[in-house]
Structure 1
Amino acid sequence: MKLLMVEDNKSVSEMMAMFFKKEKWDAHFSYDGEEAIEKFKDDTNSWDIVTLDLNLPKMDGMQVAAELRKVSPTVPIIMLTARDSESDQVLGLEMGADDYVTKPFSPITLIARIKALYRRSELNTIGSSEADESDETFDVVTENFRLNSKTREVYLNNEAITDLTPKEFDLLKTLATKPRQVFSREQLLQLVWDYEYYGDERTVDAHIKKLRQKIEKVGPQVVQTVWGVGYKFDDSGANQ
């Protein structure tokens, strides 16, 4: 795994460097936002995952996340945020982060979250690399919706839903695989983020918000809220 850690606290970076070395990961470090963007752009397609501190000199984590998403809609990003900053956590997810870890954090916790996010990203990459460009086999097909896990193509009423992050794609696929079934936030955390529910539903809500914005660019809303329960996929009236 080739990892970029963007963290202005050098003692934190040095500590994590020891853990990354133990995992035999190819870890690189940036200490301000501008340096991080330059380093990422030097070899955009080589990075497997980015951990991004929120409070950075020169350019904060929100701005960096937005810039990274412009050049790579799919690279997995974990945001590191202050424990008491709920609005920052939600905004970080909305700016394109796939997950967040609150500070102060346990290195073991961060390693586990990196592994979970990387594992799901690798599964998606393997599927994409095996797909032929002419492959038109869609493994999720409903009345008005098609999704191909190999090519990562998604269509609503024959209009492509584009620029989905890895987590947004996984979230949409999970919901669409079982149309009209209601999923609680706890279930979605377990199924999509690949770790046990730990009491924070904002991760799911923030991703649903971004996913809905991308769906609405091409058609009616098919990800629906079931108040007090969770979310469901329903495209039965999408062509009306």
Structure 2
Amino acid sequence: MAGVRALVIDDERRMAAAIRRGLEAEGFSVELAFDGEDGLHLAREGTFDVVILDIMLPKVSGYEVCRRMREAEIWVPILMLSAKDGEYDQADGLDLGADDYLTKPFSFVVLVARVRALLRRAAVPRPAVLRAGDLLLDPARREASRAGTPLSLTPREFALLEFLMRRPGEVVSKPEILRHVWDAHYDGDPNVVEVYVGYLRRKIDTPFGRGALQTIRGMGYRLAGDGG
């Protein structure tokens, strides 16, 4: 993809160099950073089309790099890399504003496919705080509230609410939610979405006498744009 600029932030120098060679063979222009501090500086000063960001970094962690980028309203797509494979590690990265997550070791073919998918989606400016009536969610600070009352959400519940709040009034299907809130390659029980919608409804609607989170039979779910 000629003309595409990628920033790779990874302290494993051999890994970073291998990713660089592979991306350059695909026509990318690539810059490297080997710690979070330098990576964050380059992300702030440069103009990149995609950032490939390792979680375990010296000086500043990948989580913190991601959080500060989003806090600074740098909306370039971020693909996080990690040797960790726990679902909560993935959820943490996505909650902080990452767009996708890849566990090491990975196939370079898969990495390129994920990067291309992110570039096709393109970066869309995201407001610092999402609002639906009196329902507020701050992705950078990982805080949510309703009518001024803080909401205690698990990482997965937070990610689900954020996904729905970015599409107020839209009906989103179960497969869409699985792709964006769980994983693009999730192959578990799809009814997990229904379970988490129930969890979320009991936290954002029931205590406040609202009905913002709606089930649209046979189609999916919708969060009312006015907060219900």
- Regarding TM over 0.5, the answer is yes
Residue 188 in structure 1 maps to residue 177 in structure 2: yes
1:199 aligns with 2:187: yes
Q: Give the Å deviation of 1:59.
A: 1.2
SS of 1:233 mapped into structure 2: strand
Give % identity.
28
Give the superposition deviation at 1:197.
3.9
Distance 1:14 1:89, change over 3 A: same
Aligned residues: 188
Query: Per-residue CA shift, 1:181-218, capped at 9, x if unaligned?
Result: x722x34345x69x9643269xx98xx99xx9xxx8xx
1:86 counterpart residue number: 87
Question: 1:33–1:58: 8 Å Cα contact kept in structure 2?
Answer: yes
Aligned residues of 1:74 and 1:164 also touching (Cα < 8 A):
no
Deviations 1:78-130 (Å, cap 9, x if unpaired)? Answer: 111224333222211111111100111111111100100110116x58xxxxx
CA contact (8 A) 1:5 1:13 kept: yes
TM-score using structure 1 length: 0.61
CA distance in 2 between counterparts of 1:89 and 1:196 reads 12
Name 1:24's counterpart in structure 2: 27
Alignment partners' CA distance in 1, 2:226 and 2:69: 36
| Aligned residue number for residue 177 of structure 1 | 170
TM-score of the aligned structures, taking structure 2 as reference length: 0.64
- Following superposition of structure 1 onto structure 2, how do residues 205-224 of structure 1 map, counting pairs within 5 Å? 222-223=212-213
1:47 counterpart residue number: 48
Q: Partners in 1 of 2:94 and 2:74 — Cα distance?
A: 13
Superposition pairs of residues 1-240 of structure 1, within 5 angstroms = 1-43=4-46, 46-121=47-122, 156=132, 176-178=169-171, 183-184=173-174, 186-189=175-178, 197-199=185-187, 222-223=212-213, 232-235=221-224, 238=227
Structure 1: 5+ residue stretches without partners: 126-153
- CA change 1:21–1:233 in 2 (3 A) is same
Q: Which whole-Å deviations, capped at 9, do the CAs of 1:39-71 have from their partners, x for residues lacking one?
A: 11223xx22111110100111111111111111
For 1:176 and 1:98, the matched residues in 2 are separated by: 22
Amino acid at match of 1:121: A
Q: Give 3-state SS (helix, strand or coil) of 1:24's partner.
A: coil
Gaps of 5+ in 2: 141-159, 205-209
**Stretches of 4+ aligned residues off by more than 6 angstroms:** 159-165, 167-170
1:142-170 CA distances to partner (integer Å, 9 max, x unpaired)? xxxxxxxxxxxx8745x9989889x9987
What's the C-alpha RMSD, in Å, of the aligned pairs?
4.2
Q: Secondary structure at the match of 2:224?
A: coil
